[in-house]
Structure 1
């Protein structure tokens, strides 16, 4: 099978991509536009891109907004209260139905890898059990990582540490935490040490909800980065949200960034969520409350973007479109120069793959033929158009396809691979 007249990121010429046995067998530059032949797909100059990745979402909570009550204030902490009301209603069928619906929504928008958090401050651990089972069932269709996440605090919730270990025994891929939500700073710091110890004991990755607050004195990020540095674990460690960084002064940040860069940790920002949850105590001037995405990128620190929530107690909107999330980030973080646009897709593709430690990701000879077809010829045009993902292919098989007029099949029954 061949894709012809394809664009690749950061390359001006047209390409032909040959797929054999579910892998990229050849990637060759074309000498001009090729005519359609049997068994080929004319991509019409659209961008063939590595699949989108959703590195931060809560599938166990998705599609629960208003159940049993709406978050009327729209705040982070009322969201946690509303979720505490919803947790007793959880069961396997409930979580499975909502998670599958949300995964399908993401797949329809070009996502082929997901990292989901699952609440461990629930004695039944039903979210962890159900999502780990779904991960195993769907492994041929999507890459799914499950984070054991102590929503109410690993040390502040009764038996929270034992529940975390049980979640890891069940099979969670990533150790999570929420140090700023622990009762005291001492408990927050202790939780980080325990997170790192558990990650080493069980050979797991780390992803911490870190300083998701406006408080400029919430500085667990430096503690996490220092532990990651001293334990030589930086590439396996992720700090999510870090919204307090938007309230740090520049003198402190100049010192902090040296540690962050040396530690090698990854960052995930969720701009659509943070822009409405943070800054709630401000009148005017009013903080944006999103971490320093632009500065992290300029410092060559790995940062990627996630949606965090889709129709849940914390965020009652959401449509599964990472291009929308990227658009928000560029506006909110004032990354509006052409060079920002030119590499924008990194934050929902390559950077996320690095954060999740995905192997054999990207459009290269020998890699699995996993890709999406986007409406545009480069990052800038795709971003500006905000069009639908035209096609998603995994291991050489079509898993989603839209049919604009300019996409022409010679043989409609032909399947990739």
Structure 2
């Protein structure tokens, strides 16, 4: 395949021709205007932005499209959602067929929005591990569309859930890629710390990455993040550990943050922040002014820490909408983080691409010679333009094969009879 006249990130208006051979990018050169003569396998980018696929750094595919089963979350809170999910499991809603169907629908939506890599948490506190087996099956089914990385996630706690330690270990044996945890949901701080030690022990045994739901609670005394940083350095896992959510950071005072951030930098902690989800879930019951419980993206980013963003939920008890539209997630995150400065806007796609790839440990990610030919074509000139105009995804390419293509559309073309002079 040859992609002609494509813009690339951080290359200004210079157009490039990109050659794909054997599923790899084999040439990236300035466009000549003649490269496609006599060829049939040509995709004319026509000045659109060619970039690596988006990375959803945090999603729960096994929960997707279950909203209202068995009831809706009337309070809008995190803890009612967890109670609803417990009833969802107890009432037999979790079957192989339902998880496969609902998760596949979610993956199709994500891929249609330009996502090529998903890091999905899967609840492994069900003794049958039904959802885990279904998502692992789905991972194989959708490999021609996108790549799934599966996290064994103990939704009800490792120690607080009956058989939690054994189920987490069994999930890793069955093929989960990453070890998860949720220390703030254990019965005490001591149990939370013990659960983290168990997570790190298991990750070491499997040489696996770690991604923990950490301090997802409106409580400035929830401080498991510092424990994670300490364990990361202690175990020699620097750069291999992700803290998801970390919403309690929104409530930490400046003195504690001054102490904490250097520890995070030393551990090269990764972060997966889910702004749309936590803007909905956090802050209920707080007195005005209401804090909104999103980790301080700007402060972490300024410290050189890797911050990725994720959809988190797609129509489930935690979040009643969502479709893996990471440009929408990115826009929310930049607004709540006061990050609409020009330098950040010029690299804003990092939060839903390169940074997520680092969390996932993807070393061969990006449009450059020698990497797998995974890419999307955005109807935009650059990062800022893609965010500003919520750019359409014109094409998705996986391993050098086209997953889908869409015709370009324009505002004026969509409204016959309207001209620029009319608008004046």
> Are 2:330 and 1:326 aligned?
yes
Partner of 1:6: 6
Alpha-carbon shift at residue 105 of structure 1 (Å): 0.9
Paired with 1:288 and 1:83, the residues of 2 have a C-alpha distance of 23
Match of residue 218 from structure 1: 222
Tell me the equivalent position of 2:294. Answer: 290
Match of 1:44 in 2: 46
Q: Distance in 2 between matches of 1:164 and 1:395?
A: 32
Deviations 1:20-61 (A, max 9, x none): 222111101236x66974533321211101001112111111
Equivalent residue number for residue 15 of structure 1: 16
SS of equivalent to 2:203: helix
Bigger drift between 129-138 and 226-235 goes to: 129-138
Q: Paired residue for 2:128, among 124, 127, 130?
A: 124
Distance in 2 between the 1:149 and 1:128 partners?
A: 10
Deviations 1:94-135 (A, max 9, x none): 111111111111111111111111111111111111112222
1-structure distance, mates of 2:205, 2:152:
15
Equivalent residue number for residue 84 of structure 1: 86
Give yes or no for the alignment of 1:338 onto 2:306: no
**Bigger mean CA offset, 371-380 vs 81-90:** 81-90
2:170 matched residue in structure 1: 166
Aligned to 1:111: 115
8 Å contact from structure 1 (residues 229, 264) kept in 2: no
Question: What SS is found at the alignment partner of 2:180?
Answer: strand
Q: Distance in 1 between matches of 2:264 and 2:380?
A: 35
- Report what 1:30 is aligned to: 31
Judge conservation of contact 1:5–1:34 (CA < 8 Å) in 2: no
3-state DSSP class of the match of 2:239? helix
**Cα offset for 1:168?**
1.1
Q: Deviations over 1:199-257 (max 9, x none)?
A: 00122111000000110000000001110011111222110000000000011101100
State the alpha-carbon separation in 2 of the partners of residues 282 and 121 from structure 1.
31
Does the C-alpha gap of structure 1 residues 38 and 382 become closer, same or farther in structure 2, counting only changes over 3 Å?
farther
Match of 2:151 in 1: 147
Task: Specify every segment of 5 or more residues in structure 1 that has no aligned partner in the other structure, as ranges.
Answer: 407-417
SS of the counterpart of 2:289?
A: coil
* Residue equivalent to 1:234: 238
Q: Is the 8 A contact 2:50 2:378 kept in 1?
A: yes
What SS does structure 1 have at the residue aligned with 2:58?
Answer: strand
Q: Contact conserved, 1:121 with 1:160, CA < 8 A, in 2?
A: yes
Cross-structure match for 1:401:
405
Q: Using the alignment, how far apart are the partners of 1:112 and 1:371 within structure 2? A: 8
Secondary structure at the residue paired with 1:198?
helix
- TM-score (normalizing by structure 2): 0.93
Q: In the superposition, relative to structure 1, how do residues 394 and 376 fare at CA in structure 2: closer, same or farther (>3 Å)?
A: same
Deviation at 1:340, TM superposition (A): 1.2
Q: Is structure 2 residue 395 aligned with structure 1 residue 391? A: yes
CA contact (8 A) 2:379 2:408 kept: no
Specify the SS of the correspondent of 1:194. Answer: helix
Residues 47, 375 of structure 1: 8 Å contact kept:
yes
CA distance in 2, matches of 1:239, 1:70: 28
- Residue 352 of structure 1 aligns to a residue whose secondary structure is helix
Does the 8 Å contact 2:144/2:398 carry over to 1? no
